[in-house]
Structure 1
Amino acid sequence: MICGVGSQRPVHPADEEETMRNLIQFERLREDEPLLSPSGRYKLCYDGEGVAIVLDTHTGGAVWRAGEEGRPVAGDLLLGDRDAVQVEAPGELRTVWRSPIAAEGARSLILTDTGDLELLNGDGARIYTSRSGPVEPRPLRNSAPVAAITADTFLVRETAKWRRTVTREQDGPLRLSRHHKSSGLISYLPAPLVRWMEQEGTVLTWRMLPDDGRPGPRARTLCLEDSDGTVLWAEGSWEQGADLPPAEPHGHAGPELGAGGRLRNQSLTSASGAHTLTHRFDGNLVLYCDATLRVVWSAGTDWAGPGWTELTGDGELTVRNVWGAAVWSSGTAGAGGSRLVVRDDGRVALLDAGGTEVWAIDAHTSCAEAGPAVARGSVLRRGQTLLRRSLTSADGSTVLGHRDEHRLALIADDGTWIWWTYLGDAEGAALCLDEDGMLRIRGADGAVVREEAGPADELRVEPGEILLCRADGAVVWRNGEPVDEPEPAPAVPPSRDGSGGAGPELPEPETAPEEDFTAWLEPLTGDLTYCVTVIHDTAPGEALRRLGAEPGQITAGTWDELLTRGEAEDSGDDDLLVAAFALGPHTLLVEDNGRAGVVHAELSRGTFAVALYEAFSGATTFRVFRDGEVVADHSENGGAEPTIPEVRAALAAMGADDAQDAAFEDGLELLCRTAGVRPTVADVTGTALGAIIPMP
């Protein structure tokens, strides 16, 4: 028999107190926040005299002091000017001592597990160590095995506009940097993920991949690929990256999973409800004791991200990431396992066709205490609780499960969150359909945290929705929103001849559909931040040239192809990506990153133009141009009084009085009505002209 064990990262002393792992340039070392080495053995701090020292916590002795031999210097320690470790007089900006620990380009100071002070450059690569002096980091161009990335070697992809680097943190994580001139972004990959990535025959590199694994524009993405070029992992991939293979059906939330079955945000629960095995959204496979609310075992794959767990046809229990790469397995391929069973005593066993165990998770002392009343399949009934478990629609497409310990989510087959609710800060909170029919969130102590809806008799997960229903089938709550009670049947009106009979049925009066002025923007930039401009009686190519595009910069393609082109050409923050869509004789300009339309009055030369810019902060710029001049400005700092008939007519149609308020609250409608256009999704999802324009 093979016993499964969870891979757990050891807890270092450095994880148990508020400490720093690196000291950024010009940031002073604080008395209450020492700099620790990864294991916690060495500490950069101040002694009782206010002198910065490196303390060996095992021996209690100092292995380094600020100052010369026998002449310690008290004061604030920092990596200061001249890229050197130095000491300043307390409360002053006056340097009283400068150490020989210095290197041009140093941007941070770290402390190693050998007690050495080291300097890192802006990429995070080591360039100086107090033990051996200057170090020359070695770049690995474009691709390399993860194991080849060390303190002195780093992965880099550099163009005229962007610099992307991957460097190794001293305790294992990888630091990812993406910089363009003065702007940039830094993120980290955790050490367990990095250890998994150190596989033979794989390389870390950048490839053009669909954003978040979805159809649409492609982005330059850091990924791990094998010798065949198959992607095993990609940065930022929280949606499905690979095609999900078919799975054999099984009893959802039941105690067994057969060969070919799959769990994705789903669970198995023992017959009595005492123990639950759950595949969590973070990628971990976890066994809970429901009676004690304890985790008794995990695969230790919480770093893997959303994916799935499967029992393969050859009998191996495997946890996979969104790209289908195995991140943990039971090692039982070919051993004859055909079904996985969660038992009431807390044992999880893989059985062969004859019922003999070929593998087991035996990490829990036998425990037969029953948990809360168990919900199975797709329905939660009165008196039942959903705690660290899942409900699944009959077709398997929609799952209600725990996103983490504090959130419950309804998740569609493509990973989209349809509905979610916050369970509270305390662990052990659950969704309960109480005996009185009310759907409530209850804490581990049974106290009511929040009331969601009701009364009703069952909560059902259907394809794409969650319904709270009465016994007669009436829906009282859907996807988090209450459903109004059915209205009583209308009284029978008297007939036209006055006889009181029903008479002929009269047709319902037709109502004009409500106009939608925003749906067309969603496939492009969404509705959080955008800049759109309508130019009358102007062709798309001419509009782009007026905006500053050279003929060689203009190409035909879809919006997604323009964004992909921008990524392929490493466009920076100072490059304007803009598409020009034909709206009859007019042109609609849509910018991906900019606000050129609201400041280019020359777009309206010999004609009429309307431009709207919505910033991420919510600040709005709305301007109308005629023949190269601003004729109406209803921005935050513009005028409130409309100055042209087109704006007055638009406000009248909207039933609005204040142009500034209308621009802020319903800017796209004001733009469309003022310009006299009604863009549709079809207008902006076909081929258009686009350009990438370097902006001054």
Structure 2
Amino acid sequence: MSTDMTMPNVLRPGEYLYASSLTSPSGRFTFHNALGAGTALHDNGTGETLWTVPYDNVHGLSTFSFGLDGDLVVWNHHRDPGWRAGTAGRGAVELRLSDAGDLELADATGAVVWSTGTAPGLDPFPPYEGVPGLGSVLSRGQSLRHQSLVSDDGDTVLAHTDFGVCLFLDEGGVRWRHPVEEPGTALELGTDGILRLRAGTGTRHEFGGPAEELRVLPGRVELRDAAGQVLWSAGGDHRPGGTPTGPRQSRLQRWFDSLAPDHGYTVAVVRDVTPEQALTRWGVATPVRATWQQHQAGRHDGVVPVAAVPIRNGTLLLAGAPDLPGDPLSPGTTVLRESRTIPCHGYSTEFSMHADGDTVAHLREAHRKIRKGLTHPGLVRAANETGVGHLRGNVDWAAAFAGLEFLFRAAGIDGIDGIARAARADGVDGADKVDEAAGVDGVDLADLAPADLRGDLLGGLVPAGLARPSGTPEPVTPPGRTPLPDRDCLLVRTDFSDDAAWEALLGALAAGSLFDDAEVDPVNDPAWAGATLDEVVDAVPDLARIPAVYIADTEAITGEGYPVLTVNAAIPRESEDYEPEPGSPRSIRVTADELWGVHVNLEIANIGWEEIVEVADPEDGVFRGY
């Protein structure tokens, strides 16, 4: 959202609109990112929609972002880009909504590098009498038309659209809604102090009054009289689970996803190391100062842009590529790192923690999956503080789905910068002395803002080969066995003691619809007789494209209901790099009549592996249906 309420018509790099709006100085024109209705430019004088951001790949919630790379992008709720202006690297520093009706992107000289070109051909413009609300307050005589009020903490939005009025909580969903069935309305606090939803000269609904102001607060909206008494309110008293403090995943991902949308990013916090030292460890021989756009402009296939931001007690490193390693940064210190590959549908590719040259913790969701060290006390505390309620307390989920916030919280838990934040929050006089003792100038991670990222940053280019892509391992066929076929649904027979029992199993699978739609050609090759689970899984041609591997071993052929051994293709065997996640075994058994349903639901991600495991019989580990 625009961080400067004195200029509600401007966005700068790193800022965004999420269920919020820009308003031209006169209030006549609004550019609004509306919940479930895309992003559009409206003329409130005529009621016309002048321009709509294309959003073919955006369904439901979206964010309109002015990225650190200088591009305008609409991101869908999977963190995939749905539309771009194509202005990355062109030096754009300001997006401005003018009273002429144009949305314009300008560089530092004022030159326009992109525009909607939507100024109506009216000369002179007819006068516009509306007075928009600004910031978090709607006062007497003001109104909202395709506009929003945002609480001071930036988390709660009251938005007016053609569909009515809605109070929305970032990461908390809709708290209150008053729908309408007709366009052309406005939310108005009249000169008589009555808050009403108006259409033309008529009133569609009165909420209360007479009042002096409507104010948006964290989690709620209040209509107050001159004495401050609340006459009407909506949304409740508090955010569910309490109001979290510090960095938030929703904000961080809107900044850092724009580092290199086509390539992915790496973000790392290096404790007790200066920016120059951190860049040297990542291979920048001669750092220079430039904006991220300028660092990015020097990129070609053989190099990756990196930059450093001084933070209290360390350095924040940014890189325009995933998989840049964290261990070279960590001799003599602690490093936390998060990487993401684009597109990734919401998953952080990797999270890791390194201390004095060793990898302390590591989570990678891609093949092959890595999971170790996630019981580290600092990471457990960070997960318990994560602001995304349904992820709170789960280290695996926090690292995978809220990796940026998790990184920031883990990096700021212990040490002198945490003390400094606590002192500042409590109003302790000694906060400045604590800052001085830290010995490194810079912002606290909890206070990091887009302004800290869009200026000149120390950085440079490093060889692209420094990044280590995870990739998919090559299949390994054991000696004496034949290669497995590449199938969407892979069933391998390993017991050849009873052909009649095998045929009975196939009949049960057919009755359960397994062969109706799936690409199934069971592997019925004696070369696979007696093969172990690991031998089968290691030989699969492409584990990343299938949800599970099915093995017809002795128990599957002879057991009641034909319980086929079902192996989660994403979970590797236990090893030094993979510690099993509690409650998520690598394999279970599924009866033949339920196998097709399990396969389809896993393939389309309609249900997760953990949900199937929860329903399996706790006595024998067999899934027999819901």
Q: TM-score, normalised by structure 1?
A: 0.35
User: Relative contact order: is structure 1 or structure 2 higher (C-alpha 8 Å, sep ≥ 6)?
Assistant: 2
Q: Structure 1 or 2: larger helix share? A: 2
Larger Rg: 1
TM-score, length-scaled by structure 2: 0.38
